[in-house]
Amino acid sequence: MAPGLLDKVLSLVFENSCLICSESSQNNLVCTNCKDELSKQSTSYVRNLKHITVYSYGFYGGKLRQSILNFKNNDKNLSVFFSGLLTQHWLKLNNHLPINNIMVIPVPSHLKRIKERGYCHTTLIAKGFAQNLSYNFSNSLIKRKRHTKHMNKLKNKLERYKNVEEAFDIIGNIHTNTNLVVIDDILTSGATMQEIAKTLLKHNPHIKITGLTIACGDKFT
Ligand SMILES: [Zn+2]
């Protein structure tokens, strides 16, 4: 085999493989079967928390769960697909949601996890979402100020709320009348979204905050 040919063949195989199931995808990131299955999971969940309403694309299970795990564990290219999914979902919800002065922010990931992965998955989808809709984007507005445990290691709602209590800091100013859209991959107990919204409102009570996630899981009630 000529030098470099193997790389070319491998890159062709990779480019033609679905990032979720690895079957042929005809140069798309995700194959038609996976897209169909995911669109069947689009059930449009809405969760009203104390300080924030969170909209989710679908329930955390089946293909949606598998694709999020692929994205978080090894395939950063799926961010393009997920930001597209959230963009479509947001446009469908258009009547209920703000359209002006929007600033998109990701839920900050653990630094340790970012180092392990090599990328911050929530930043990638939030940035793609903001670019798709020409919204402002910031990944430095909110920071984790202390280490928190993995939420999936905590077995009940109370532990999860305590784990993130006072865990975030706002850096810089947020203009009054800003509509913040906070993006995360999965909403479970809602503790993180709730704490972020509480911290933002303490900083400026005149802003509006909406949550948007790919999936919504068990809420531990
Ligand atoms: Zn597929």
Distance 129 CA to ligand 1 centre (A): 22
Candidates 3.40.50, 1.20.120, 3.90.550, 3.30.470; CATH matching 42-216: 3.40.50
Cα(30) to centroid(ligand 1), Å: 5
- Taking 3-state DSSP, the helix, strand and coil percentages for the chain, each rounded to the nearest 5, stand at 45, 20, 35
- E-assigned strand segments in the chain: 42-48, 53-59, 102-106, 136-137, 142-144, 168-170, 179-187, 208-216
Q: Which residue has the higher pLDDT, 45 or 146?
A: 45
Task: Find the 135 Cα to ligand 1 centroid distance in Å.
Answer: 30
| 9-13, 91-95, 203-207: range with highest mean pLDDT | 203-207
Q: What is the dihedral of CA 15, 113, 66, 31, to 10 degrees?
A: -20
Q: Measure the N-to-C terminal CA separation of the chain; round to a whole number of Å.
A: 60
Task: Decide if pLDDT at 34 tops 70.
Answer: yes
Confidence check: pLDDT of 221 > 50: no
Instruction: Give residue limits of the domains in the chain.
Output: 1-40, 42-216
Q: What is the pLDDT of residue 36?
A: 93
Kindly report the pTM of this predicted structure.
Answer: 0.87
Q: What does the pLDDT look like over 157-196, one tens digit per residue?
A: 778 777 777 788 888 888 888 999 999 999 988 989 999 9
Burial (CB count within 10 angstroms: exposed 0-12, middle 13-18, buried 19+), residue 11: exposed
* Residues with a beta carbon under 5 angstroms from ion ligand 1: 18, 20-21, 31, 34
Q: Give yes or no for residue 9 having a pLDDT over 70.
A: no
